[in-house]
Amino acid sequence: MRAATDTRLVRCLDGLTLSFAMLQHMHADLHTVCASLKSNKESLPLAFLRCWSFVDTVHRIREVSQAIPGLSAKNSELRIFLDSTGIAEKFRHYIQHLRSQLAKSPGNTFPVWGSLSWVDPVDSLLTHTALAGAQVGETQYAGCIYDTHERRWVSKVALSVESNSFNFDPIFDACNRFRDFVIPWILSTYTPGVQLREELPIFSARVQIIERVPT
């Protein structure tokens, strides 16, 4: 099947469109949720949920992007995207194989869910780091990275596992750049045309319970 008429293009488009939208939603208030931890420890599960869901969504976008019919593996925008987001694979591999990670002896010295760091919303030179779970023996963690040359934080939120840091802001920017390339590319490549729906079709059904009359 020629790429121009390959319906897998439409399937990839659907997979990417919703994934990018989910990423947008998670990143929109990620820093706000993390910053609230100082006054509301109950938001910790929500913060980690957003962080690890973000990692999984980036992984999904990477997978779909490499399955698009007709998009060369040598395409410059695809290569830039994959190179910029490669850290997502290390983080997803860790969390997907948590069973084997926890079975290690001796165990890892970093928190099971990683350490979560964020820049203070008021004091731009102050950062905070949350360590979830019990601390047994030595605990290793990393915080947000400050670029002394650019005089700015690499990311307002960072997740650390072992010696790796997942900096959300630049990865989000890389995903947005790829989105701005790949969605128009698919739309222009699929010659039958794709009409994106602005309204979501929802079908409803009601169950009718019929009472049985005893005989």
**pLDDT for 21-62, tens place per residue?**
999 999 999 999 999 998 898 899 999 999 999 999 999 999
Cβ neighbours for 8, distance < 8 A, ≥ 6 positions apart: 67, 68, 69
Q: How far is CA 185 from CA 28, 71, 73, 172, in A?
A: 26, 9, 14, 20
Query: Is residue 70 over pLDDT 90?
Result: yes
- Name the token pair of 94: 């860790």
| Domain ranges within the chain, ordered by starting residue | 3-107+167-189
Question: Is the distance from CB of 63 to CB of 70 less than 8 angstroms?
Answer: no
Average pLDDT, the chain: 90
As a whole number of angstroms, the distance between CA 67 and CA 57 comes to 16
- Secondary structure (3-state) at 82: helix
- Averaged over 17-22, what is the pLDDT? 96
Sequence-ordered list of residues with C-beta below 8 angstroms from that of 37, at least 6 positions apart, any chain: 43, 44, 47, 116, 118, 128, 130
Q: Any bridge partners for residue 157, and if so which?
A: 118
Per-residue pLDDT, 5: 78
Percentage of the chain modeled with pLDDT above 90: 66
Q: In whole angstroms, what is the distance from residue 188 CA to residue 190 CA?
A: 6
127: part of which helix (H) or strand (E)? strand 127-131
67 has a pLDDT exceeding 60: yes
User: Contact at 8 Å (CB) between 112 and 102?
Assistant: yes
pLDDT on residue 202: 84
Question: Which pLDDT value is given to residue 152?
Answer: 92
Decide: 178 and 78 in contact? Cβ < 8 Å: yes
With vertex at residue 176, the alpha carbon angle to CA 173 and CA 178, rounded to the nearest 5 degrees, is 110
Per-residue pLDDT band for 137 (boundaries 50, 70, 90) equals: low
pLDDT confidence of 198, banded at 50, 70, 90? Answer: low
Identify the weakest region by mean pLDDT among 20-34, 63-77, 157-171, 187-201: 187-201
Residues 6+ apart with CB under 8 A from 139: 109, 110, 111, 131
- 173 pLDDT higher than 60: yes
DSSP 153-168: ES-SEEEEETTEEEEH
Please tell me whether the overall predicted TM-score, pTM, comes out greater than 0.95 for this model: no
